Structure 1
């Protein structure tokens, strides 16, 4: 019997470490940057995405583990690791992956761009005329805003801001024994990629500055120059899912003040990662780490370029052949013939039956956005209620809500101002809506609000009627073109009534009734999912049809995972499409023999949540905002809606089947937690789920 076969549902080894599983997901994304079958500029984009992924992981997860380890926490997590053990393993894996993606950029992507006449050049690659051009550019447009800061006996070591790119310059002067250390921050308000004349390529801004240091320091000699970058940990807040959360009871004003203080504190948080040029001498690396208070284990020497996230902004014009074929979302078939001048038309159509919107294959603008914009100007609409977790910088939804308020409609908006890294814009939106006359609530006591819910109240000849939208993604017109999500438009009276009760809790603190049509966290979502899983085990023991199929972003909650293990041990077939981290082990004999886990990755970010229970031959479907994560089940306001319309059940069944039939962009989890990419069998056509959805939507025109 192998070590894995001896695991029980309650063994720590039955759970994969959350952070390491997340890094496993990052490794699958990195494979898209490595894949020569991907269009070149898509590979460059994915390399940039990796840069931002690693930044966020270092700030949030490394930062959290670092704080716990520094506090001396020795308590083992559900996976059996202490914070210090998890931190050590994550540091090693993060360093390995960062160096790998840097090597892919330096040895594969940059040479490929060069061969196509789109080079990212080093200063040493330039001709004399090109260097002269960049010298003039530097002195005219960059040097005037540079601020060299020395560190010596008379100058304390300067503060290094989070995620900024910096030059470490060693300057020699007559009569001075040792070179002086001077830090120059690369200005973020200048283009990172400086274009050369005649479309000859780009040079990174930091190299332009480094190549002109003699002009910047005309009376000194530059003996060496290196690049470095600092990452500071995101400070804990009362809504995170770290183990040291504390309950809080705060007024809206206190919440805004606390979040504002958090934004300020984040700039000065402790250093959790120091990235340096691979050629920086060890002595200088160690000195920099000491000055910054960084652990030497958090120093990552990187070949080639730093701050790879900027690759997403490489200004390549044209070259459609180097990108994915353009994708234009189509209007949902049931919304195409609607009179664009009639704001009541969309509500008339919803009364004919529920509508399932599948983004980005269906258009957000002509479905969900139209629903809200129509509500804003429809004279029959009395009230609009909406949750905002993230939205666009110039959001038409915000404009629609402001217009509705100006027209005298009741507008109530829950603005979650603690949405990580979106706090500042959400505070701004909240104040803007208040000024327009909307009623704004800023979160719920003790928990984050992650609900994706909209409610429109109309006065119709038959009386007051409510229309509801339950979604899996944010009301964000930008991400709606990049994220795969689902949304249900319905006028089901029971569903709408319970949605109204949820809004009463969100804005007025009045607990929503349970049980109700909706599954609501933190009230009864966990219990009802647990009961559904156990019911499938009862069905299999009784010889009735059984099974669980689900799609989600993350799977981490130990209690749910143990319920799934027990259901599998009873014989329930379970298929889980988990895009990101997954702490469950699939296919382990004696533990999860009937569980299959796979991860779908592609040009769009898979983001929808679908839950299907066979239920003895009468399948139940649910969609909504919650993953099977502890934070979603216990520490956030979440909503999951049942789907009762038989047509939409059929549509959801087809969606799940399409993902399961994917033979080229899905990764299957192995019992040891590793993932293997699917490949078409000999002679078999490629069936990437996302491409199938694109073609299916286009064929409906």
Structure 2
């Protein structure tokens, strides 16, 4: 390795996959051993979409899940569709493990995306929006609202919008460089050859729009070629514009008025309604929103990048200028606008979407956070303090008493932040070494590293500049830390550094001691309240030695020496996983009980899948909890009979990678930063960490088993790649795994409080 430096009720069982295509794969000869990665990811997003449709979930939570599916699909199109586009241009007929060429995958993905988007807007228009209206969260139609509401919208337009936005006339389809994923308005104008200077403007596709004083009949001959303009809305102005509640004719508040009502309009609707003000003397035929998605699969050619920092800035610029891979338009757009945009952006017709509703559903995140509607959201689950951490003691004292496991977000991430903050000011701390892949905007961890360096401590940070979509933030942090005296390493040439580890070297009476944090999630206190992850805090000597050797090998561009306990990708992690699976296979063949339980975000690697198939054929009991993409096909006779695959989609994003192997009764348990994908095993720097403390091992094994008893938010994968929702039978009690884990964290703290010693102080007679 070399371092580079500076509600409609649904049935109890709901299939989500494209059964026709998956059944065809299942019946193909020879049998297809693997499912397509892209289609399986879309099935994961369909499971998230099911949450938006579930009447048992609070209304604003359903709206949030719908927003998540929109955000997820945006990233999928940017990265995966963008990648397939490039593959289809350069790979010829090369097929993926499921037997599909890039062109065939694009066609299948386009069909599935269109169905997915149709489902999104059906759920929005038929279920969520009517229910929001009933609860007085109303999107106002400016064409049908009261004069009072229209006047408020006009005041906002003239006071806050006109001065910010700028229209731009378009000539010969030469668009300005529009950013991807932003909302833009395409304005169709009547020809201007015969327009007189005194003629006003009008929007002729909106019957209630304001008319100008001029005579529209004098706007020019209809046979003139239409002209177009674009108004980029940018990201400066808020998209959700609050409006006063509607009033009845008698002046009384209509349903929805009062303390707990929220009437709003989207920014694009305000601009479209008053758009004629931008074009005095012109006739506006139509004004419709559109949105483009650019290819984000732009990677750095590191062999030609002498300066990685400068190279990454070029990547960001290239992404801004990259080809358009998706075009979204309002379904009521005219043929002229539709044809003009499609031809101007050279977009594949298969990836042109005519959406029957607001573009970019992430505006629903804003509704989810509205004040005054707490009854429409989940009850809060505040993260609990770990009973093993005494807030009156230092983190070093708590860790010295024994290994600590934190289960986020049920237990707070604060101890991890606190450990690094204490290290920054502790006079006995000599060095801090940490890998940063993704951080928060105002990261207290980065701030602590800067303070530590300013106090003269030896601070080294590996900042992964190639963390997709966080490149700009990481570049900014890297420069700030360098200025403060932190030794910054910009990742590894040719690899992404994805491991989660922090090492603190402290001088103590017995000598130097290494305090280490290993995690499955990023050093981001914001996402730690939303993602399910595991943290291990330890001063285990061999793990500390391994962690230091690993870190120094990365920063020193040297060949890592054999580790006592850790396995790292791309060198030994794959081998360790395969050896552990094969060990269970051999024990099963010898008549011993053999068992594997694994929790991952994705299972794609064909070598690992084949090894799991071999284990199944030997009779090993295999339970896989895979949140997202799973290319393995469970339950195939003679191939994967003993493999069960579930997926949990619930309140928190399941993110932890956790593995259990029975190992002849020795119970080997690992946490990891790596999913079982070729990129993680072969093209990233990752860690596989054994869990040594017996109590923690027991807790993690029970947690793995708990997920397979979930009958509220679990989905079972079928052999054809579809999923069926697991529902409690009449004889079963409802069990929601995330709720159980939270209640366990609450009970642990309650038990601690009850067991605290009480000191009795007697009253003594006065002298």
Deviation per CA, 1:346-369: give whole Å up to 9, x if none. 22221221111100011111x211
Q: 1:16 aligned to 2:35?
A: yes
Q: Describe the SS at the equivalent of 1:124.
A: coil
Q: Which residue of 2 aligns with 1:241?
A: none
Q: Which residue of 1 aligns with 2:499?
A: 451
Whole-angstrom CA distance in 1 between matches of 2:334 and 2:466 = 41
Q: Which residue of 1 aligns with 2:324?
A: 271
Deviation per CA, 1:460-502: give whole Å up to 9, x if none. 1111111111100000010010000001111111111010011
Whole-angstrom CA distance in 2 between matches of 1:147 and 1:676 = 50
Whole-angstrom CA distance in 1 between matches of 2:179 and 2:481 = 32
Deviation per CA, 1:91-143: give whole Å up to 9, x if none. 11112111211221122111111111111222223112211111121012101
Q: Which moved more, 1:276-285 or 1:42-51?
A: 276-285
1:70, CA displacement in angstroms? 2.4
Deviation per CA, 1:382-423: give whole Å up to 9, x if none. 111110000111111011111111221111110001100000
Whole-angstrom CA distance in 1 between matches of 2:276 and 2:513 = 73
Q: Specify which of 318, 323, 328 is matched with residue 372 of structure 2.
A: 318
Q: Describe the SS at the equivalent of 2:587.
A: helix
Q: Which residue of 2 aligns with 1:71?
A: 90
Q: Describe the SS at the equivalent of 2:675.
A: coil
- Map 1:272-291 onto structure 2 (within 5 A): 272-291=325-344
CA contact 1:4–1:588 (8 Å) conserved in 2 = no
CA contact 2:286–2:334 (8 Å) conserved in 1 = no
Taking a change above 3 Å as real, the CA distance of residues 219 and 429 of structure 1, as seen in their structure-2 partners, is same
Q: Specify which of 488, 493, 503 is matched with residue 440 of structure 1.
A: 488
Q: Which residue of 2 aligns with 1:242?
A: none
Q: What is the TM-score when the length of structure 1 is the normalising length?
A: 0.95
Q: 1:213 aligned to 2:275?
A: yes
Q: Which residue of 2 aligns with 1:599?
A: 647
Q: Describe the SS at the equivalent of 2:276.
A: helix
Q: Which moved more, 1:636-645 or 1:166-175?
A: 166-175
Q: Which residue of 1 aligns with 2:227?
A: 180
Taking a change above 3 Å as real, the CA distance of residues 533 and 247 of structure 1, as seen in their structure-2 partners, is farther
CA contact 1:5–1:589 (8 Å) conserved in 2 = no
Q: 1:48 aligned to 2:67?
A: yes
1:225, CA displacement in angstroms? 1.9
Q: Specify which of 565, 568, 573 is matched with residue 517 of structure 1.
A: 565
Q: 1:364 aligned to 2:413?
A: yes
- Map 1:471-486 onto structure 2 (within 5 A): 471-486=519-534
Q: 1:248 aligned to 2:308?
A: no
Aligned residues: 682
Higher relative contact order (CA 8 A, sep 6+): 2
Q: Which residue of 1 aligns with 2:354?
A: 301
Taking a change above 3 Å as real, the CA distance of residues 157 and 392 of structure 1, as seen in their structure-2 partners, is closer
Q: What is the TM-score when the length of structure 2 is the normalising length?
A: 0.87
Q: 1:381 aligned to 2:429?
A: yes
Q: Describe the SS at the equivalent of 2:629.
A: coil
Q: Which residue of 2 aligns with 1:504?
A: 552
Whole-angstrom CA distance in 1 between matches of 2:588 and 2:342 = 58
Q: Describe the SS at the equivalent of 2:100.
A: coil
CA contact 1:168–1:225 (8 Å) conserved in 2 = yes
Q: 1:353 aligned to 2:402?
A: yes
Deviation per CA, 1:221-268: give whole Å up to 9, x if none. 222222211000113315xxxxxxx773755xx111111001011111
Deviation per CA, 1:500-539: give whole Å up to 9, x if none. 0111022111222235310100011111111111111100
Q: Describe the SS at the equivalent of 1:111.
A: helix
Q: Which residue of 1 aligns with 2:241?
A: 194
Q: 1:129 aligned to 2:148?
A: yes
Whole-angstrom CA distance in 2 between matches of 1:463 and 1:90 = 59
Listed as ranges, the gaps of 5+ residues in structure 2 are: 1-22, 193-218, 246-260, 750-767
CA contact 1:235–1:265 (8 Å) conserved in 2 = no
- Map 1:300-699 onto structure 2 (within 5 A): 300-314=353-367, 316-335=370-389, 337-339=390-392, 345-365=394-414, 367-699=415-747
- The alignment yields a C-alpha RMSD, in angstroms, of 1.8
CA contact 1:7–1:591 (8 Å) conserved in 2 = no
Q: Describe the SS at the equivalent of 1:590.
A: coil
Taking a change above 3 Å as real, the CA distance of residues 210 and 338 of structure 1, as seen in their structure-2 partners, is closer
1:3, CA displacement in angstroms? 8.1
Deviation per CA, 1:141-163: give whole Å up to 9, x if none. 1012222122235x834333211
Q: Which residue of 2 aligns with 1:243?
A: none
CA contact 1:12–1:78 (8 Å) conserved in 2 = no
Whole-angstrom CA distance in 2 between matches of 1:491 and 1:377 = 19
CA contact 2:186–2:337 (8 Å) conserved in 1 = no
Q: Specify which of 212, 229, 232 is matched with residue 291 of structure 2.
A: 229
Taking a change above 3 Å as real, the CA distance of residues 38 and 635 of structure 1, as seen in their structure-2 partners, is same
1:645, CA displacement in angstroms? 1.1
Larger Rg: 2
Q: Which residue of 2 aligns with 1:112?
A: 131
Whole-angstrom CA distance in 2 between matches of 1:311 and 1:346 = 40
Q: Describe the SS at the equivalent of 1:576.
A: strand
Deviation per CA, 1:174-224: give whole Å up to 9, x if none. 335233211111232111111002555100110011111233323222222
Q: Which residue of 1 aligns with 2:53?
A: 34
CA contact 1:502–1:511 (8 Å) conserved in 2 = no
CA contact 1:286–1:296 (8 Å) conserved in 2 = no
Q: 1:164 aligned to 2:182?
A: yes
Whole-angstrom CA distance in 1 between matches of 2:88 and 2:639 = 32
Deviation per CA, 1:423-462: give whole Å up to 9, x if none. 0010111111111111110001211000000111111111
Taking a change above 3 Å as real, the CA distance of residues 282 and 565 of structure 1, as seen in their structure-2 partners, is farther
Taking a change above 3 Å as real, the CA distance of residues 171 and 3 of structure 1, as seen in their structure-2 partners, is closer
Q: Which residue of 1 aligns with 2:109?
A: 90
Whole-angstrom CA distance in 1 between matches of 2:702 and 2:178 = 52
Q: Which moved more, 1:112-121 or 1:559-568?
A: 112-121
Taking a change above 3 Å as real, the CA distance of residues 428 and 279 of structure 1, as seen in their structure-2 partners, is same
